Amino acid sequence: MLPSFRTSALLAAMLCSMACIMACTTPVDAPGSTLPGRCQAEAPLIPAQKTDLLFVIDNSGSMSEEQAAIATELPAFLEALRKDDGVAQDFRVGVLTTSVYLQARVNGRVEFFPYNDQAGRLQPVPDAQGRPTAERFLEGSDPALLEKFRRLVRQGIKGSGQETPFEAVRLALTPPLSTLPVAEGGTEGFLRDGARLLVVVVSDEDDCSSTERPPPVVLDSDSSRDLCTEQADRLTPVRSYFDTFRGLADGTGGSREVLWATIGPVALGDKRAELIRDGNVVRNADCPTSYGPGYRQREMAALFDSGLANLDSICRANYRETLVNIASLARTAQSIEVVNLPDARLLQVQVTREDGQIQTCSVAGGDLSYAPAQEDRAARLYFQSSCPRRATDRRLEVKVLCAN
């Protein structure tokens, strides 16, 4: 009697299964494969995002109220910085002043006054009585962070009236100070490998930076002129400073991600820089408490962000919203470290947007790119323009997909 069709089909399936067991391979079995053979209970780990914050505070004679206003709004800044959106924050903060030098005409003579104790050096954290301590920066985990931070941003008003935030930052981030330990007055040990650097400049005047000593611009007592603006062609170009900052490397040789934010002498309404004379004082348009037009400050901010989301006016009545926006800039990196990822092709990132919608992104779909770990660098995921991280995101989850 001939076998039925059903019996023949069952026999063929059994033979095929036996043959596959003996000879078939899967992507898991391929030489060099990192694909997991079974689903893992543990999701990939996202280490805390490291950010080093460097505030550059104008400590000239006109800045008392502005420093106090910054100190008042630091609770909102820290709350926004610590916001839980799926990536923990590991941050530290240090403070420089805008005082590097003063080149001025005094009694008919040109005098050069260097501020060697401030020029690019992390300023000491004051104690409750205002006395300097041995601390030169604050950790985000410090239980007394808010009180110390408030004291630290109040840098007084006895600094140089020739504000040079760009030069102060350059000195802090390059040798010899960048290779001199913090305990010896340098910045080595403040900047961490793998950390982003966010520079925040707070000033009511324009930048007057030069790498030359003595500087090429000489100030005088005529408040109706802005000599730094009039002789801006003698100063070190803003682009030159920008290139220096963007070319920084960390201790592993990897490129250091640098961001820049400014609360400066720009117009309240549209952030423009326009010099006007108000009686015997020079200031920016639509910024009555400024003492300069802000051309260079605005240019630097625009080089880092052409949309100028990183720029706001020093003339605001309060800085709460401004500081919250800066904290969001610090918190929202377009790359994250990732640990325990068996194969990037299996990766799926789910981003919960402000409106509750979930966007699913993957390396396979081209929304993310992946840089594998090296001997001295952790593996990183880079968010592409089709799946950007946003400051308003509610949540970020990283998952590994598998077939079983």
Contact 265, 297 (CB under 8 A): yes
Q: Which amino acid is at 369?
A: S
* Same domain membership, residue 298 and residue 372: no
* Same domain membership, residue 180 and residue 57: yes
* Same domain membership, residue 301 and residue 179: yes
Residue 218 is assigned to a structural domain of this protein: yes
Q: How far apart are CA 269 and CA 121, in angstroms?
A: 34
Residue 320 is assigned to a structural domain of this protein: yes
Contact 164, 64 (CB under 8 A): no
Tell me the whole-structure pTM to 2 decimals.
Answer: 0.86
Q: Residue 339 half-sphere exposure, CB side, CA atoms within 13 Å?
A: 7
What is the total count of domains within the chain? Answer: 2
pLDDT at 13: 43
Considering 331, 355, 378, which residue would you say is the last residue of a domain? 331
Residue 107 is assigned to a structural domain of this protein: yes
* Same domain membership, residue 372 and residue 295: no
pLDDT at 30: 52
CA distances from 132 to 68, 123, 126, 152 (A): 19, 9, 4, 10
* Same domain membership, residue 351 and residue 290: no
Residue 38 is assigned to a structural domain of this protein: no
Q: Which amino acid is at 78?
A: L
pLDDT at 110: 96
10-residue mean pLDDT series, the chain (404 residues): 44 44 45 50 78 98 96 96 88 98 95 97 97 97 97 97 98 97 96 94 98 97 92 97 95 88 97 93 94 96 96 97 94 87 86 94 92 83 92 88 59
> Tokens standing for 155?
């840098």
* Same domain membership, residue 89 and residue 203: yes
User: What are the phi and psi torsion angles at 324 (to 5°)?
Assistant: -60, -40
Contact 173, 191 (CB under 8 A): yes
Residue 3 is assigned to a structural domain of this protein: no
Question: Domain range spanning residue 340?
Answer: 334-404
For position 146, which CATH number holds?
3.40.50.410
Residue 6 is assigned to a structural domain of this protein: no
Q: DSSP letter at 249?
A: B
Three-state secondary structure call for residue 203: coil
Provide the residue count of the chain. 404
* Same domain membership, residue 323 and residue 362: no
* Same domain membership, residue 375 and residue 274: no
* Same domain membership, residue 391 and residue 260: no
Contact 131, 207 (CB under 8 A): no
Considering 297, 331, 365, which residue would you say is the last residue of a domain? 331
pLDDT at 402: 64
Give the distance, in angstroms, between the CA of residue 212 and the centroid of all CA atoms in the same chain. 28
* Same domain membership, residue 321 and residue 188: yes
* Same domain membership, residue 222 and residue 93: yes
Q: DSSP letter at 45?
A: B
Q: Which amino acid is at 255?
A: S
Residue 14 is assigned to a structural domain of this protein: no
* Same domain membership, residue 363 and residue 219: no
Considering 304, 331, 358, which residue would you say is the last residue of a domain? 331
